[in-house]
Structure 1
Amino acid sequence: MDSQRTSSSQRGAVRAPASQPGGAKLAQIAREAGVSLSTASKVLNNRPGVSDATRKRIEQLLEKNGYRRRRRTEQTTTDIVELLLDDLDTPWSEEILSGVLAGLRKPYVPVVSARTGDNWSIGVWLEEVLARRSAGVIIPLFEFPKEAEERLARSGIPAVLVDPTGDVPQNVPTVGSNDYAGVREATEYLIAQGHTRIAFIGGPTYLQTAAARLDGFRGAMRQAGLTVDPALVSSGEFRYDDGKKHACELLSMPNPPTAIFAAGDMQAAGVYAAAWERGLRIPDDLSVVGFDDLPTSRLLLPPLTTVHHAVREMAQFGAATLMQILEGSAGGMPTHLELTTSLVIRESVRKLP
């Protein structure tokens, strides 16, 4: 994930529209009306997607507090829904896009952006969203900065977070999953198969999702009375090359693990490659478990035992939630939905004698 450069931040600085006395005051009006900041901003900017009764209540509060609302002729909303991805060429991104397409309804169409390139920043991307006059945004696997949340809300553009990686904003709907429970269940399965020397290849330490998966692994080991060897725990990116690199290091140890838990299926594919290069057979010589249940996990030889993360379902629910907001059928306050995970047992784990 690219860091935000000073020049880009300046270009994407947050500016309140002239028609508003201030974002903080609008948030107070939203609380008084019992709605989200995004809903209050929709009424302020004469955007659709708000019931008549709610719109009337907010309009009265806006008038009371001296807000000047846009005229109906000033509406500038298009039917574009923004989808912001970390990458465009991964199976995970393909699952997200498929889910979003399944959840959107006509006339809305997605515009896909990727967080790539040295010049990318959240501020510059927001400028592009506003220039395209987008109806709403869907943001998967990204920590949503407060300034971005406030800016979209002031512009009346609703956002939905899918599989959020940081603290969940109270004013933004989210769709996630229980990463902790999923990893814990899979680790318990490995232990039940007789494995005690288990390695864990995790994700970026700054992501809450990665921290939850590591906590699930440690929790299962601790519950079984097993010690987690720090030498068997590593962190990196949820990518093939990263999984292969860490697996090479683990398999080169004098006392290598009998099983490796990769916190992402693409990392697990990298583990397969590292094992193959050393002439090791899965699961005879090494057991492997992944996380996500991407379509590629079924194509590995042998097929990968993994945690079903419901990536496509989360994206579909996220898009459907945005549809409810845009069509005015959502409730006043944002929802925070958490999907359950499940262990998918295939052929990559061996039961030790």
Structure 2
Amino acid sequence: MDFETSDDRRMLADTLARFLAEACPPEKRATLAYAAPFHDHEAWSGLAGLGVLMAFIPEAEGGLGGRGFDVMTVFEQIGRALSPEPVLPALMAARLLLAARGDVDGLMSGEVRLAVAIGEPDAPWDLSDIATRAERNADRWTLTGRKSVVYGGNDADRLLVAARTGEGLSLFDVSPENAGVIGYGMIDGGGAAEVILDATPATLLIENAEDALNDALDHGRLALCAEALGAMDHVQALTLDYLKTRQQFGRPIGKNQALQHRMVDLMTEIEQARSITILAASRMAEGDRARSVAMAKHLVGRVATLVAEEAIQMHGGIAMTWEHPVSHYAKRLVMIDHQLGDTDFHLSRLMEDLRA
């Protein structure tokens, strides 16, 4: 496997890192991510101006990439900076619009913010449990149901909604103005929404949408794995620096061999997570995409939780305070495991795949 990053992706990563360091420093993020709209419109426009959203679109469609490694490049920097910008729903919406052969110009320019409404209170991750119904009267579609934890839905211009018809799952375009959108902030920062649909007018985008929805979900899961890698790298660096500088009994606590062993174990786990994420990124256009993504999400979720817990333990009580960045990174790392399927869910996916 080739672990080398292309020059274009390296340039994108460097540019994005510099931009986020200025647009989302820790002290600003601690306020910005927890107050409506839970992100910065100016930073969002800046990301679009850098071409970040174009990295999710193939060159043939006017974008700059569209491959798994392009997703990984962007989201590692998102995780390193702990940016609350709704880039994840934009990625998933891009995959769905491409499948629908829809217009992606507004998405790439950042002028149109989209959110993807798939999960429900009784169907957070599994498509087979979706209960939202679509009904057709003459040439008009309406949707009835409830979508839960719609990331970016609190500030979206359009909603892409998965609903069940008599033929299976389909994808619809819904205006937030026609739906009941209840926005709120997440415990780890960023915004989401509950979406209430009651005979809500909708436009059909994809009639048989299960494959497209699975593709969008798997790209979102890869993005979360990459985001976790960026966050874990930063937390590891913060923890190592703390062990080198924190003095106890006249010497750095990093001289303690037990803490050295724990840091080496963390570094090993993070590198394992990196390897499985790279493998998944390399297989996004192949037939075993779903298995590779499930493997990555399962392992990364477990490692991310371990890194969060160990960083807090080795920092001591200070890492639990609002003012310390580790507390915010730890919350995000733990919550990444619960987005788009936790470790148990993806372990079940792997077991089912092996049985098949």
Normalised to the residue count of structure 2, the TM-score between the two structures is: 0.26
Q: Determine which structure has the larger helix proportion and give its number.
A: 2
Task: Give the greater-gyration-radius structure (CA).
Answer: 1
> Which has the higher relative contact order, 1 or 2, with Cα contacts under 8 A spaced 6 or more apart?
1
